[in-house]
Chain A
Amino acid sequence: MEETRRRVTQILKGLDLSDPQQGQELLAVVYDELRQLARGKLLHERADHTLQPTALVHEAYLRLVDGRAVRWESRRHFFGTAARAMRQVLVDHARRRSAGKRGGDQEKVTLTTGLGEEVPGVADVIDLHDALEKLAANDPDLARLVELRFFAGLTLDEAADTLGISRRKVAKDWAVARVWLQRELGRE
């Protein structure tokens, strides 16, 4: 654990944004950490209380980064990465689940509870992911903003700082991004 922490802090301190290797390593570490946290969180969550991914990300930060040693900009970078990692974790998992369903369950009707009963009206995380990929092709900053908000739970101010843009601009962009998403997600 300590080892990991040291490594992560090191990466963040000396982060060379042009080195994809470092970015990948960081992503991998954060990814693992988030999954572990999710598993551990389960037992302590109350029934009906949704696991908050943003809480996970923040906790991951506390565990992985020595706050004193890194610069503030690095912290922002962490969250950017963590948001991406969180998104990846959730999408990977969702994909695995739906693959299982389509293939596997022979006894489709032998259940004691509503299997496959999706809560209607909830935007599927895979759909969101696909929409974001599309958005990123047109405007990567906008896509990153959405990612930071939903997967890392950053406030508009924090997102503005992470992206290096003004508060006014981020507010405008957030509105447009959601409108765009609405249209994209509304397409069946």
Chain B
Amino acid sequence: MTPDFRRLVELVGDALQRPTHERSAFVERACAGDAGLLAEARALLAEAEATSLDALTARIAAGVGRAADSLGDRARPHPTQVGPYRIVGVLGEGGMGLVYRAEQPPPLRREVALKMVRGDLRGEGSRARFDAERRALAAMNHPGVARIYDAGATDEGAPYFVMELVEGAPITAFCDDHHLDVDARIQLMVEVCRAVQHAHLHGLIHRDLKPSNILVSASDGPARPRIIDFGIAKALEATADIETMHTAFGSVIGTLEYMSPEQAAGGATPVDTRSDVYSLGVILYQLVTGALPFTASELRDAGPAEAQRRLRDTDPPTPARRYQTTGERDAIARNRGTDPRSLQRRLHGDLGWVIMKALEKDAARRYQAANDLAADLERLLHSDPVEAGPPSRRYRAARFIRRHRTGVAAAAVVLVALLAGIALATAGFVRAKRAQQRAENEARRATMITNFLTGMLAQARPEESHGREVTVREVVDSMAVRIDREKSFADDPVVQAAVIHAIAETYSSLDRYDQAIPLFKRAIALRRSALGDTANLTLGSLGRLSSAQAVSGDLRGALQTQKEVVALAEKAFGRENDRYSGWLGDLGNMYADVGDLPNAERALTEALAIDRRVLGKDSKDLPITINNLATVLVDEGKCVAAIPLHEESIAMRRRLYGEPSAEVANALGNYAKALTCAGRPQMAEAPARTALAMSATVFGPDHHRTATVRVRLAEALLATGRAGEAEPLLRESVRAFQAINQRHWRVGDARARLGQALIAEGRGREGIAELEIGWAIYTETTALAAPRSREIAGAIAAYYESAGDPTSAKHWKEKATSAPN
């Protein structure tokens, strides 16, 4: 033992116990002139301040643990036989376990890779779950995904997988070794994305996409990427009750650098196909810039909690920025067959935006499917405009709002004042005998305020107001919070309900349905108990709730609410009046949206019959009901019957509203659809074009109602053999619908039509991808047995039939003719 060293240890130990700012003085005193000792002490203290000792402890513990792990592996001698497979060699050791080279039993005798995985399948139910995953894995067949031939467990319960023996280097190494340029790398990634998409359609998520899982070989012909280990992570979940990635010391196992924020969070956060999209984004980032968005040391040195926080909250540098500040710019550029300046330039444009979109922290803002990413990448290769864009171009991009001090402040003040006004007015509220009447008066006042606000806000179109809209929303947000603490409301549920309804209404008009819906529900609950089930206001809130649910895509919820409304309305008003018929008509529409057309027709026919009896000639409601019934008839395929109804409704609306008007536009669009459906598409084009022009004028070109009309025109064009003209129209509409809700049924419907257009243009591969995605989205909220669902399935089946894939065709034909689920 060196006496000096002991002294150093004592010294530093004491210093570390003191607060940071005292340490320097302390060691100086204690060293008493010994310069060498002082220098050593200072160096150690600097180290202590620069680092997290706990993170270090975790790192070391992880290293020891990892060593122990592999000890366990090698401590066991290699088997010569696993199940029916003969072990002929060792291929290596991965994160999950050993990989052997094995031989399939005769007569096949093909060489395969057999992966032994750590785990225990002896638990109850584990085997069944494992088998289910295994079957899903074996069912996949795609050139870009390594086949999983088989899986099983040894007698001791250790699981194993038998996979295609894939040759190749990790995609990053391959690209660097071959000095592939940026375009070639992008092209490779397009193939990877398509393979990933294929697996997603089969319900499999990879969860651990990273370069070492994507092997590329060019041994026979062009470079082909192959993805390995697909779905194994999921299959292994069967072996453990809790999927945990943390060791006792708290460090995270697995490749943090490629992990999506929601995966790193672990626990209850659901992981879906979009997590894979994120990982693809990281790989792309790496292929293009030579570096990772979050470096290994950034994530690991910080400790698991901090790493999670970083992934979730910190924005990584853009690819351009990362390359700019990296240390080996020359080498990186050389590996990409270019020079630093050109590479830097390339990274600044659309390529950077595409990558950043894949890396969005909020999964809803990423590309929703691997194919969407692939599509944008292909656009890059053809110098076409991409979907991704810089923040300022994005509609309702919450994080990048520019705050406007002027203008909106006024709106906010008004809102506050008005709501405060309600509070003041009711502060001195005295309960009298006709309390309910007075309450309804006050509530009526609130309704007027709401209408005023809604009207005022409706004038402010988002494209123009940018920050204006946001500041109002912030105010509404704070009002929503304050409402609970507002004492004067607490005593009076009726007023409280009125205010809550007003706030919900405001949220609705801002398209914040996630906020609006729970508030409507609260208002309903309050009104039910204070005013009764059948009070006007209660019904009003219920109606608004179902509306909000419908627009936000929760068609099933909307239907349920609406049924309730109709039943209550009948109780309150009887049948022979326009209030009842109004609710009934809305119910019919919702049935239609959910795909229950027989009930929709029934409801609307009844509603129309009542309306014809009780409404005057100049009623604006009559043409609405006519229009709605006609639409349903078209959906049912009874198009010929719908045509006279449409003609009647258009004539009425022209008289009532003039042109241009939203109502006429809507009616013309539906008329066009009916004509197309009745087999007269050549007659449909004119009204469709008129409707589109009118709609764009009235609602704006990006509005979802304009988008709906645009789809009608596209239908007519498709039906007259002009798929090429239909395609761009459909793409525009898809974008507009996606802005409301990525999973909206209209998105599914439009994408399916886009798929049909692409197929008609001869771009079968793209088209079938769109069709399948469209079907998936559409049937999330619409019954499988609904005519449109079946229609799409039928189109997919037809494609596979003509593409010479009878198995898939059969599969889809079943969906096209299935009985109701």
A: residues with CB less than 8 A from B are 35-36, 38-39, 41-53, 56, 89-91, 93-94, 96-97, 105, 107, 109-117, 119-125, 128, 138-142, 150-151, 172-173, 175-176, 178-183, 185-186
Contacts and interface: CB of A to CB of B under 8 A. Distances in A.
Nearest to B173: A109
Contacts of A173: 9, 13
B16 interface: yes
Contact of B9 (A39, A110, A142, A178): A142
Given A45-B72, A113-B92, A172-B14, A50 B47 contact: no
Interface residues of B, number: 85
Contact of B73 (A36, A42, A122, A186): A42
Q: By CB atoms of chain B within 10 A, which of A111, A117, A142 has the most?
A: A111
Contact of B60 (A46, A117, A123): A123
Given A139-B5, A173-B13, A179-B12, A117 B212 contact: yes
Contacts of A111: 91-92, 99, 166, 215
B44 A123 contact: no
Nearest to A184: B47
A89 B60 contact: no
Interface stretch (B157-165, B318-326, B766-774): B157-165
B568 interface: no
Interface stretch (B111-119, B182-190, B353-361, B658-666): B111-119
B331 to A, nearest CB: 19
A97 B73 CA distance: 11
B13 A46 contact: no
A115 B118 contact: no
Nearest to A123: B63
Given A97-B74, A115-B94, A151-B64, A47 B53 contact: no
B99 A121 contact: no
Contacts of A94: 67, 70
A97 B70 contact: yes
Interface stretch (B22-30, B240-248, B273-281): B240-248
Contacts of A142: 9
Contact of B94 (A35, A113, A138): A113
B59 A122 contact: yes
Contact of A113 (B48, B60, B212): B212
Interface string B464-497: 0000000000000000000000000000000000
Contacts of A182: 47-48, 51, 53, 56
Contact of B16 (A56, A97, A107, A179): A179
Instruction: Report which residue of A119, A124, A173 has the largest number of chain B beta carbons within 10 angstroms of its beta carbon.
Output: A119
Contacts of A140: 1
A125 B64 contact: yes
Q: Which of the listed residues B63, B70, B248, B301 has the most CB atoms from chain A within 10 Å of its own CB? A: B63
Contact of A120 (B2, B71, B212, B300): B300
Given A38-B75, A51-B72, A97-B74, A113 B1 contact: no
A36 to B, nearest CB: 8
A52 B68 contact: yes
Contact of A47 (B6, B61, B74, B119): B119
Contacts of A36: 75
B297 interface: yes
A68 B251 CA distance: 37
Contact of A112 (B73, B115, B158, B255): B115
Contacts of A180: 44
Given A139-B9, A179-B47, A123 B229 contact: no
A151 to B, nearest CB: 7
B65 interface: yes
A90 to B, nearest CB: 4
Contacts of B451: none
Nearest to A141: B1
B236 interface: yes
21 contacts: A46-B120, A47-B118, A48-B96, A48-B236, A50-B68, A50-B69, A51-B65, A51-B72, A52-B68, A56-B68, A90-B64, A90-B71, A93-B70, A115-B92, A120-B300, A121-B59, A122-B62, A128-B60, A172-B14, A179-B48, A182-B51
Nearest to B256: A121
Nearest to A178: B53
Given A41-B72, A175-B16, A181-B56, A50 B228 contact: no
Given A35-B71, A115-B93, A172-B17, 12 more contacts: A41-B72, A46-B119, A50-B69, A52-B68, A53-B65, A93-B70, A105-B92, A109-B167, A172-B13, A172-B16, A181-B56, A182-B53
The 4 A-B pairs of least Cβ separation, nearest first, read: A114-B212, A121-B300, A113-B94, A172-B13
B96 to A, nearest CB: 7
Given A41-B72, A111-B91, A113-B94, A48 B253 contact: yes
A178 B68 contact: no
Contacts of B34: none
Contacts of B340: none
